[in-house]
A and B are shown apart, each in its own frame.
Chain A
Amino acid sequence: MPSSFFFFFFAKMSGSSNLVAMKKVVQQLRFEASINRVKVSQAAADLQQFCMQNALQDPLLTGVSSSTNPFRPQKVCSFL
């Protein structure tokens, strides 16, 4: 008798925790469904515009001239 009561106890507990978890999932999905979205064409155009606008300021894209490059290979000085 005590063991069957315990089993019922555990079954009920998992039931309520599933309920709480499921409620959270549904609330999250409701929230996500309600956000505003833009079309991919619009988003892609904006991405492209950002990249183009900042392209000249991107040193990895355009390169850095040797004289201003602190990472250039260090030359060794010699006495003449």
Chain B
Amino acid sequence: MCDQTFMAITFGPCDNCSTTSPLMNIYIKNEPTNYCSFCVEMMACQGLLKGETLASLKNESESLKKKLEEERAKLHDVELHQVAEKIEVVSALSIKTRRVLKGHGNKVLCMDWCKDKRRLVSSSQDGKVIVWDGFTLNKEHAVPMPCTWVMACAYAPSGCAIACGGLDNKCSVYPLSLDKNENLAAKKKSVAMHTNYLSGCTFTNSDMQILTSSGDGTCALWDVESGQLLQSFHGHTADVLSLDLAPSETGNTFVSGGCDKKANVWDMRSGQNVQSFETHESDINCCRLYDLRADREVAVYQKDSIIFGVSSLDFSLSGRLLFGGYNDYTINIWDVLKGNRVSMLFGHENRVSTVKVSPDGTSVCSASWDNTLRVSRALGMPWLLVLYSLT
């Protein structure tokens, strides 16, 4: 189980000193234990150095926060869009919707691409998870989930399994079989267990581990085979709504975004919160770019005419384009370096819930509350070559 640390009062023998007294239910290194009040005090004081009190710690935290601000400001010598002034403007994009995937009975909440660049999995409020072939529009598998609002789904890197979860507080893995008649729901494997809804899940580099984020404020890394909790990540003070792994194969970090307006970068092996970014303000609807090495925000993508929030975003393969799915039913495409909006994609008839670029970078898929998914691609200009040859 992965849980926030809560204090609850029960009565019985203490796990440390064995005296019978009111007990605090606390977690030490992810193990639940019951300590009496005296032992909790002793434990808390052991961590303190000489002379540290609540007041002195508060002062230290204030001064450290100030120091962090100063350090970050010192390095802010130029803006990203100033550096990018000299490069060419992105030429007019001709990205159009090529496929519309219809079949879900209710809002599509999440989707993920398969590494084979043509299959996708999508999950919906009606409790169904569907695996599609993006080229032929064929529905290859349809798995009914025992809960509604399946908010997260992910495709395994091998293409042989999918993971999904939502209001059931769990993340379950379903191995995909080639036999169409086989009942996939029977082979379900419960991997993750949280104490609140599952908001996001993704496989790490292999089929063996899953990273989850939850409304209980934590993220967790699980072993698929045994269902064991490998590492938990505590630090958010509100629901965690999204997560993403670092792109490199050897990378061991991931970032999570939460309702506490923070984006936290975590080390997967130690569980340590490596960096934290907190410049989002709840009433401004924009995307922000944080550079990890400069440890600060370097760009903001917003426009006065955009008054609705962004629910999901993804970069194109080179990182030059940023696709954002908005609650005003559109997808805005931003130039990451220059900071201006390049293009817009229309077509959805309700909020866009998820936007993802395919693994080979050729298509972008958007899932929406209008019960459909749309796959869009950029059209090349082969007739331009013909024109050149004629002149």
Contact = CB atoms under 8 A, between A and B. Distances in A.
A43 B48 CA distance: 38
B319 A54 contact: yes
A64 B378 contact: yes
B360 interface: yes
Interface string A18-35: 111011011011111101
Interface stretch (B74-82, B160-168, B210-218): B74-82
Given A65-B382, A71-B363, A45 B337 contact: no
A51 B337 contact: yes
Contact of A22 (B61, B276, B320, B364): B61
B54 A19 contact: yes
A77 interface: no
Given A13-B37, A32-B68, A43 B291 contact: yes
Contacts of B102: none
B318 A55 contact: yes
Interface of B: 7, 22, 24, 37, 40-41, 44, 47-48, 52, 54, 57-58, 60-61, 64-65, 67-68, 71-72, 75-80, 83-84, 87, 90, 93-95, 98-99, 118, 134-135, 235, 272-276, 291, 293-296, 298, 316-321, 336-337, 357, 360-364, 375, 377-382
- Identify whether the interface residues of A are mostly helix, strand, loop, or mixed: helix
Contacts of B378: 59-64
Contacts of B294: 37-40, 42-43
Contact of B361 (A32, A46, A57, A70): A57
A61 B90 contact: yes
B83 A64 contact: no
Contacts of A55: 318, 320
Contacts of B7: 13, 17
B362 A44 contact: no
A18 B44 CA distance: 10
Contact of A19 (B57, B77, B79, B118): B57
A63 B336 contact: no
27 contacts: A13-B7, A16-B44, A23-B47, A25-B57, A26-B57, A28-B235, A29-B61, A37-B72, A37-B75, A37-B295, A38-B75, A38-B293, A47-B298, A48-B83, A51-B336, A53-B318, A54-B319, A55-B318, A58-B317, A60-B317, A60-B357, A61-B93, A61-B320, A62-B380, A63-B94, A63-B378, A71-B135
Given A40-B77, A48-B87, 13 more contacts: A12-B41, A16-B44, A18-B54, A20-B44, A26-B57, A32-B276, A51-B337, A58-B317, A60-B316, A60-B363, A61-B90, A62-B378, A64-B380
Contacts of B118: 70
Given A40-B294, A43-B293, A64-B362, A50 B319 contact: yes
A66 interface: yes
A50 B90 CA distance: 15
Contacts of A70: 118, 135
- List of 8 A-B pairs having minimum Cβ-Cβ separation, nearest first: A54-B318, A71-B98, A58-B318, A63-B380, A29-B64, A65-B380, A44-B83, A43-B294
A33 B71 contact: yes
B54 A40 contact: no
A70 B318 CA distance: 21
A39 to B, nearest CB: 5
A19 B362 CA distance: 52
Contacts of A4: none
A58 B291 contact: no
B296 A13 contact: no
A62 B235 CA distance: 41
A32 B275 contact: yes
A1 interface: no
Contacts of B52: 23
B99 to A, nearest CB: 6
A50 to B, nearest CB: 6
Contacts of A9: 22, 37
